[in-house]
Structure 1
Amino acid sequence: MKITISNSSNEPTYKQIFNDIQQAILQGELKDGEALPSIRNLAKALNVSVITTKRAYDTLEHENYIKTVPGKGSYVAKQNSEVIHKKQLLILQDQLTLAIQTAKLLRLNLSEIQEMITLLYRNELENEDNDKESL
């Protein structure tokens, strides 16, 4: 699991930690029941305060991504595949909203945005096909 902290980000540090762990869970990089680093070890590794990592873990637990067992640590909670799919769609929606806002700043119209998405999607499919052929 890779967690990247950007000091220049407008997003609070705990939220950056939350987002990276959430993504790792939603993408299947972290599996059900897998142990997470201790709050202290993660804080030390990221060079942030223990309070910051505790807040990230508390938020992850509140949103049912992890379970904490007192004295034993924090573990990835069992995820419902339908719930994961809905959460992934919400993340995609947020990313597309940001892309649309950027496109509007560039004064692109809807057809130009659609054309760009179509080209990117087709390129991605071609890359997948090329990756399969190289195996």
Structure 2
Amino acid sequence: MKILVSNQSELPIYAQIKEQIKEQILNGQILEGTVLPSIRMLAKEIGVSVITTTRAYNDLEKEGYISSMQGKGSIVLSKENKILKEQYLVRIEQGLFTAVETAKRIEMTEAQVHNLISEIWKGMMEE
């Protein structure tokens, strides 16, 4: 897990940590079932306070990305988790919205967009 924080960012440091971990979970860089570094260890690694990392982990838990257990650490939840599944759905909708918007700009038909999606889907299934 790689976390980079910047004092130049508009986001508070805890939010930077949270967003980077969330992005790595959604991108599959951090897999479900992965035990995250302890709050203290992460704080030490990136040079922030334990309070900062605690807030990031608490927010990730509230948003359904991780589950924290006293003495056991924080574990990335399964993609079957309803909240996490909803986050994936939002990402899909955003991507499709952008794709449809772009397709309309070049006057593609709905059928052409469907065909393109089917081709991409089939191509990825073969990999």
Q: If the TM-score is normalised by the length of the shorter chain, which range does it land in? A: 0.5 to 0.7
1:42-61 pair list within 5 angstroms? 42-61=42-61
Instruction: Quote how far apart the aligned CAs of 1:4 are.
Output: 1.2
TM-score scaled by structure 1? Answer: 0.63
**In the aligned structure 2, how far is the partner of 1:36 from the partner of 1:52?**
15
Q: CA RMSD in A?
A: 3.1
Instruction: Quote how far apart the aligned CAs of 1:85 are.
Output: 5.9
**C-alpha spacing 1:13/1:92, structure 2 compared with 1 (3 Å):** farther
**C-alpha spacing 1:38/1:81, structure 2 compared with 1 (3 Å):** closer
1:1-135 pair list within 5 angstroms? 1-80=1-80, 84=84, 86-88=86-88, 90=90
Cα deviation, 1:109-131, whole Å, max 9, x if unaligned, reads x99xx57xxxxxxxxxxxxxxxx
Query: Structure 1: which 4+ aligned runs deviate by more than 4 Å?
Result: 81-86, 91-95
TM-score scaled by structure 2? Answer: 0.67
**C-alpha spacing 1:8/1:94, structure 2 compared with 1 (3 Å):** farther
Instruction: Quote how far apart the aligned CAs of 1:50 are.
Output: 0.2
**C-alpha spacing 1:44/1:60, structure 2 compared with 1 (3 Å):** same
The letter for the 2-side match of 1:75 is I
Counterpart for residue 111 of structure 2 = none
The number of equivalent residue pairs is: 105
**In the aligned structure 1, how far is the partner of 2:34 from the partner of 2:94?**
28
Cα deviation, 1:8-45, whole Å, max 9, x if unaligned, reads 01101000000010011111111111100000000001
**In the aligned structure 1, how far is the partner of 2:39 from the partner of 2:63?**
17
**In the aligned structure 2, how far is the partner of 1:89 from the partner of 1:10?**
27
**In the aligned structure 2, how far is the partner of 1:36 from the partner of 1:28?**
14
**In the aligned structure 1, how far is the partner of 2:92 from the partner of 2:12?**
21
**In the aligned structure 1, how far is the partner of 2:28 from the partner of 2:50?**
26
Contact 2:36 2:75 in 1 (8 A): yes
Identical counterparts, % of pairs: 43
**In the aligned structure 2, how far is the partner of 1:43 from the partner of 1:71?**
17
